[in-house]
Amino acid sequence: MKKIVILVSGSGSNLQRIIDTCQSGEIQNAKVSLVVADRECYGLVRAAKHHIKSELIPKGKNFSSELAQIIPEDTDLIVLAGFLSILKPEFCEQWKGKIINIHPALLPKFGGKGMWGMHVHHAVIEAKEKESGATVHYVTSGIDEGEIILQEGFAIDDTDTAESIAEKIHLVEFEIFPKAINKILNSHAI
Ligand code: GAR
């Protein structure tokens, strides 16, 4: 069984999707072995409901070093699923190739510092973009700059709002996140 550590800051609907798709076999031969949050959030409740070990490390300058100490060495993949702290470059380097993030936009557009959650969708509306989507990418020390693993978009219509875009993006995320994780962990499988 491959071991996945998931980092969360919020509702954790992507965490839920990963738990479910590990159980259903869509993500093959893997389980969520640990959930780490940088604040109190519903993601921790989801972990508890599934009897998955969890830790809360308060966000701040020591987050990355404390995280480095609790992540088991035999972890196969670290997944940022709606995680809002910026990890230190040393941590990203230590786990290079084994750490991924999901971003609610079509990177390289609408990424970088300050581009998270609803801020992204408001910026997309403001820029009168014709499309948006979600991107799964490797985490490097450059914010949202790592190599893209999987990306999928959809057309924005005149009636869309930041809220409706957020909802549509979640649906895209639920599709591409398990696929990307399975691809990385079981590359023979896709
Ligand atoms: C997701 O849309 C994710 O892409 C985004 O936060 C949401 C978390 O939802 N992440 C970022 O903005 C990170 N830059 P969830 O907690 O329900 O999975």
pLDDT for 37-66, tens place per residue? 999 999 999 999 999 999 999 999 999 999
* 2-186 under CATH 3.40.50.170, yes or no: yes
Collapsing DSSP to helix, strand or coil, 148 comes out as: strand
| Euclidean distance between CA atoms 177 and 147, whole angstroms | 15
Q: Does the Cβ of 117 fall within 6 Å of ligand 1? A: yes
Q: Does the Cβ of 14 fall within 6 Å of ligand 1? A: yes
- What pLDDT shows up at residue 187? 81
* pLDDT tops 50 at residue 190: no
DSSP state of 75: -
DSSP state of 156: -
Q: Looking up tokens 């557009």, which residue turns up?
A: 109
Q: Taking each helix axis from N to C terminus, what angle separates 162-185 and 13-24, rounded to the nearest 10 degrees?
A: 40
| Euclidean distance between CA atoms 37 and 58, whole angstroms | 8
Query: Do β-strands 131-138 and 99-103 pair in parallel, antiparallel, or remain unpaired?
Result: antiparallel
| Euclidean distance between CA atoms 92 and 86, whole angstroms | 10
Question: What tokens appear for 169 in the block?
Answer: 């993006």
- What pLDDT shows up at residue 188? 55
Which alpha helices (DSSP H) does 63-161 contain, by range?
Answer: 63-70, 89-94, 117-126
Q: How confident is the model at residue 132 (pLDDT cuts 50, 70, 90)?
A: very high
DSSP state of 87: P
Measured between alpha carbons, how far is residue 18 from residues 12, 112, 127, 141 in Å? 10, 25, 32, 25
Ligand 1 center to 164 CA (angstroms) = 14
Query: What does the pLDDT average to over 26-41?
Result: 98
Domain boundaries, the chain: 2-186
| Known active-site residue 103 | yes
Point out the catalytic residue in the list 103, 122, 170, 188. Answer: 103
DSSP state of 164: H
Q: Does the Cβ of 81 fall within 6 Å of ligand 1? A: yes
Ligand 1 center to 101 CA (angstroms) = 9
Q: Does the Cβ of 169 fall within 6 Å of ligand 1? A: yes
